[in-house]
A and B are shown apart, each in its own frame.
Chain A
Amino acid sequence: MAQVDVLVVGGGNAGLVAAMTAREAGASVVLLERGLEVSRGGNTRHTRDVRYAHAADEHTPGIYETAEFWSDLKRVAGSRPFSEELARLVIDGSRELPSWMHAHGVRWQPPLRGALNLARTNLFFLGGGKALVNAYYHSAIQSGVRVRYGATVVRLRFASRDCVGVQLENEQGVEELTARAIVVASGGFEANVGWLARYWGDAAHNYIIRGTPNNDGKVLASLLANGASPVGDPRAFHAVAVDARAPKFDGGIVTRVDSIPFGIVVNQSAQRFGDEGADLWPKRYASWGGLIASQPGQLAFSVFDSRAVGQFIPPMFHPYAANSIEDLGGMLGLDPATLCETVTNYNDSARGDGVLDISSLDNNHTESLDPPKSHWALPLAGPRFYAYPLRPGVTFTYMGVTVGPHARVRTLAGDEFTNVFAAGEVMAGNILSQGYLAGFGLTIGSVFGRIAGREAAAHAAVD
């Protein structure tokens, strides 16, 4: 077999975009996807929108210029360091994404009714992430990208600054491939519970992983072992509250629990531990994964009453329901007396006009309660009481490898590997190392997928 120009490791959004871009630049491309055809696409399957900078356009009800995009990023990034240079590349590059995506088979849909806050900033693709994945695989294969499913890359082999071999395991056994350029788009390591446990101990075993079980970070580990420069806090992950009954992996959006601002959240000791009304839910939902992760047993319960029913999109699971707080506590395995006391204390401290409006910061708050509930603090009055059991649902990890503006992976020595490029979650920590902007992962993966594909093809052409 002739030497392939570009080998792409990982067949999610970033890898697919890189593969198509390299192929369209004239390179021969092989894409190694760890999943089978039916489960291809990694965590991209669970996405559904992409954030992009734009002037007035036909997709959105208003403009979202780079300055606003930039300030949104600064807001969530807080004091964490990030590469302003790379962030600029992503934000500027995001402008071209709608036309590029559409040309590669992605179709749009009006934003979901529940996502009004994103209608202006994000573009929703018809059918969600798996439909996008299917369209991209079709386009990639049509353009001549060779796709190999069920191919697990376990190791990259280096000679000095060159990657000289990619070892993979598949059903036939172990195999080593070579290529002029390698694009690593293999995601984070959030599905590797053992790796998470290095930082979080046994608690990591109680985490639920919202996406693919394939993101075990093998390729990331191999890059780091060969001297790639890490980026991002290795302990950091993005996590939301998911129903504790969710499957260990791949539960996606349908296990997410959005009832929290409507009531209170207690731990296994039936005690509150966080401000359920700190800010608008779309801005706060991602903080609850971490909050629950720090509780004993990594288990908590969102308790609410009849008033909240129908106010949020329910997860696929039914809530526990009872006619009294005592009974509910019993069902949840909590001490009923303590739960009653917690609810009573909360109810007694609730102040405000009693009109629930979850879409704005209302004046219903608690007084002299610790921790406080700053908004939507209506007493839990029944007549029915409900609860969802909650666990941390890890979406992705932040640690990755440092890259330069050409997507080349940097080394601890401060230079770059000659022929190794990275795109997607595996390098997103250069731009975002805490917090999250909805649809920004797709933006980073798409823009850097294009950069990595272009640069890998260019490298292969002169190599």
Chain B
Amino acid sequence: MQQSTDLLSEATRQLEVCNSCRYCEGFCAVFPALERQPEVVPAQIGYLANLCHDCRACYYACPFTEPHEFAINIPLLMANVRQDVYRRYTWPRLFAGVFQNGFRFALPLIAFGLALAAAALFALHPASDILTVRHGTGSFYQVLPWLLLVIPAMLLSLYALVVICIGGFRFWRDSRGLVAPPVDVRIFARAVVDVLRLRWLEGGGDGCYYPADRPSRLRTVFHSLVFYGFGLALLSTSVAALYQDVLGRFPPYPLLSVPVVAGTLGGLAMVFGCIGLALMKRQSAVRMADPSMTELDYAFLTVLGLASLTGLMTLALRDTALMGVMLSIHVGTLGALYLTIPYGKLIHPVYRGLAILRNRLDQQRDVEAASPDDRRHVGQGVA
């Protein structure tokens, strides 16, 4: 699929203004990266757009935003390009349109997941048995058998992994640009730190200009809650798998076990993070937002928030008669989450992570090539 020529020419138009200005170069990695390679080609803007964390500092600092005739709006441009990248690099490309229809894709999947879980619940249990209190080892699997849970989960994970890897591979192949990657652990370590602390969401230091025109760290906080909450949920699942398959200890686990503590903290973090991000998005300036990307964001926050919330509720109700119903609802929302992973916002860490890595590789190249005076730019002196 080709990048639309309209988007490319608009990107060229705006980035040529940026390249001749360069006042924003201290805000983030995008503008120095633009200076490294000012030629605007699809792969290059795909890279810049994913390096952009939407901190919006550049918009408020720009003297050329509307009503100025140059109508510079880099956050919007970058969001448009990211949306385009998600579509262009997905597999199969038949599904590219899904990225522009976040809710129309996610909501039926939630309904589908819930319906499937309900069907399983009613197929496996007589109606009178559904509200039975279950205790002790294996009680979850009495409601929904282990294989019924694990096989779809494995298959869907594998599928998502394949789709994400294809996208990541295509993106890296196209946007690697300047780099012949040397294997240097320190560069990778720096890139990982950039990811973990959301360095490029700092707006040059004081925080991102989101939801309003003043720097704030709130978005970093909520994003981190989701990110690290997700990590804790993964930890919980992994340790549980270890307990079960290696140690032969079956769920439910005690309240003070690693799976329960990590899962609870992670679930709470994700619920609060999703709600926080959604509320901030509601207040944020729409003139810098791609509407289809906004929809994709809300769809993701909804699915992830529901999966987290129902997980917490399953834990809370696990010793009551509602456990079976709650577990089924949780499994249904998890199913929707798994299905949306490769065609939703959860792919953005892949492109962003690769862009951050390429940025660090390019920076290293700069350091190696640096001469004491950079003659290329000596003309531009004063304002």
Contacts and interface: CB of A to CB of B under 8 A. Distances in A.
Interface of A: 38-39, 45-49, 107, 109-110, 112-118, 124, 126-131, 134, 138, 247, 250, 252-254, 256, 258-259, 261, 281-282, 285, 310-316, 357-359, 436, 438-439
A406 to B, nearest CB: 29
20 contacts: A107-B205, A112-B22, A113-B374, A114-B379, A115-B382, A116-B373, A117-B378, A118-B381, A126-B204, A127-B26, A128-B21, A128-B24, A134-B213, A138-B214, A253-B21, A253-B23, A254-B64, A312-B380, A314-B16, A439-B382
Nearest to B24: A127
Contact of A45 (B20, B26, B63, B205): B63
Contact of A116 (B21, B24, B25, B378): B378
B383 A47 contact: yes
B17 A316 contact: yes
B20 A254 contact: yes
Given A109-B25, A130-B62, A438 B380 contact: no
Given A114-B379, A129-B23, A130-B62, 15 more contacts: A39-B67, A48-B23, A49-B382, A107-B204, A109-B26, A113-B35, A113-B374, A115-B380, A126-B27, A127-B61, A252-B63, A258-B380, A316-B16, A358-B378, A438-B382
B57 interface: yes
Nearest to B32: A113
A117 B378 CA distance: 8
B278 interface: no
B62 A313 contact: no
Contacts of B60: 130-131, 134
B186 interface: no
A282 B382 contact: yes
A315 B18 CA distance: 10
A107 B214 CA distance: 13
Contacts, number: 141
B173 interface: no
Contacts of A315: 20
B380 to A, nearest CB: 3
Nearest to B382: A438
Contacts of B65: 38
A439 B381 CA distance: 11
A46 B383 contact: yes
Given A247-B69, A252-B21, A359 B378 contact: yes
Interface of B: 16-17, 19-27, 35, 57-58, 60-70, 204-206, 213-214, 373-383
A315 B64 CA distance: 14
A310 B380 contact: no
Contact of A258 (B67, B214, B379): B379
Contacts of A39: 67-68
B298 to A, nearest CB: 28
Given A127-B26, A252-B21, A114 B381 contact: yes
A308 to B, nearest CB: 10
B21 A115 contact: no
Nearest to B25: A112
A347 to B, nearest CB: 23
B246 to A, nearest CB: 52
Nearest to A440: B382
Contacts of B17: 254, 316
A46 B68 CA distance: 13
B271 to A, nearest CB: 33
Given A130-B62, A134-B61, A281 B381 contact: yes
Contacts of A112: 22, 25, 377, 380
A393 B383 CA distance: 13
A116 B374 CA distance: 8
A323 B191 CA distance: 45
Contact of B19 (A116, A314, A357): A314
Nearest to B214: A138
Interface centre among B60, B65, B67, B382 (most CB of A within 10 A): B382
Complex A-B, nearest 3 residue pairs according to Cβ-Cβ distance, in ascending order: A109-B26, A128-B23, A114-B377
